A and B are shown apart, each in its own frame.
Chain A
Amino acid sequence: MSTQNNPTEKIAAQPFMITREFAAPRELVWKAWTEPERMRQWFGPKGFTGTTVKLDLRPGGMLHSCLRSPDDKEMWGKWIFREVRPPELLVWVHSFSDKDGGITRHPLSPTWPLELLTETTFVERGAKTIVTLKWTPLNATDEEIKTFNNAHQGMTQGWGGTFEQLTEYLAKN
């Protein structure tokens, strides 16, 4: 590997980004993102059902919601809004939480960052809307940054063809 981390330097967090184009006007995408009744129609992976117990859409305000997995496990999450600029920008601090709104660790990883700064932009392109979401660890320790970087860079950087070959192998076994 050519990119070795210098142990004396603070590790740089590599943001996680995901972009999608939606065939809908920007106002509608914004509504779907910020109104609890609409949000529960789509937020969370397939098979999950969401409930928003609190939504205070303004800087400093909080969204507190629960996702229920297909096997009936509860996963609570908390967003603290930093910037609310309808219909183009939404910035919030994302964390796992308990049902009372206290910040908790990732259920599977003790070294996952407690807080992720989430910046979501909504860009109008004709009748379509491009949504880009960016996650960056906030106030994270080196170890947490490493966990975060490893998790999303695993497939693309520093791992060479390992994962492709392994994925092939795993598909056959």
Chain B
Amino acid sequence: MVKCSPRLLNRTFAALADPTRRRILEHLAQGDRCVTDLARPYSMSLPAVSKHLRVLENAGLIRRRRRGRVHSLKLEARPMQRALAWIEEYRKFWEESFDRLDQYLKQLQTKEKK
């Protein structure tokens, strides 16, 4: 099972709950971007984008690097992986249980045939 702090996980999910922020993450999955790159496709103001970026930063989903006056943004893999793993957790619980049940049933039936 996945281990991580519930507080961070909640922050991650809160950050992911917004469609604009998910689109920003999608962009960053294609490579690092600067703030103006991210604002352009949505014709959003820089302050509006910055607000979203701060939420993503606080959730540990992105990292900011400063090169002079340009801020470059990078997607952080680990918290995202944790969130994805958690989302898939209970599906995995049943999938893996079913895999084991499948094997167990096969075992039982070969025993009976002997």
Are both chains from one complex?
A: yes
A-to-B contact residues, CB < 8 Å: 1, 16, 18, 20, 22-24, 28-29, 32, 38, 41-46, 69, 73, 75, 108-111, 131, 133, 135, 147, 150-152, 154-155, 159-163, 165-170, 173
> B residues within 8 A CB of A135?
90
Do A110 and B97 form a contact, CB below 8 Å, given A18-B91, A154-B87, A166-B84?
no
> B residues within 8 A CB of A46?
96, 99-100
Binds A, one of B18-26, B39-47, B49-57, B62-70: B18-26
The number of chain B residues with a CB under 8 A from chain A is 43
Task: Tell me, in angstroms, the Cα distance from A150 to B22 when the chains sit together.
Answer: 14
> In the complex the two chains form, is A108's CB within 8 Å of B9's CB?
yes
Task: Tell me, in angstroms, the Cα distance from A23 to B109 when the chains sit together.
Answer: 10
> In the complex the two chains form, is B86's CB within 8 Å of A108's CB?
yes
**A-B pairs with beta carbons under 8 A, tally:** 113
Q: Apart from A110-B6, A169-B29, A169-B75, what are 8 other A-B pairs with CB-CB below 8 Å?
A: A18-B94, A43-B101, A108-B6, A131-B98, A152-B91, A162-B23, A162-B26, A167-B84
Closest Cβ neighbor of B107 among chain A residues? A41
Task: Tell me, in angstroms, the Cα distance from A111 to B13 when the chains sit together.
Answer: 12
Task: Tell me, in angstroms, the Cα distance from A32 to B101 when the chains sit together.
Answer: 8
> A residues within 8 A CB of B71?
none
Do A41 and B77 form a contact, CB below 8 Å, given A152-B87, A165-B29?
no
Give the distance to chain B from A161, nearest Cβ to Cβ, in Å.
7
Task: Tell me, in angstroms, the Cα distance from A147 to B90 when the chains sit together.
Answer: 13
Do A166 and B25 form a contact, CB below 8 Å, given A23-B106, A110-B6?
yes
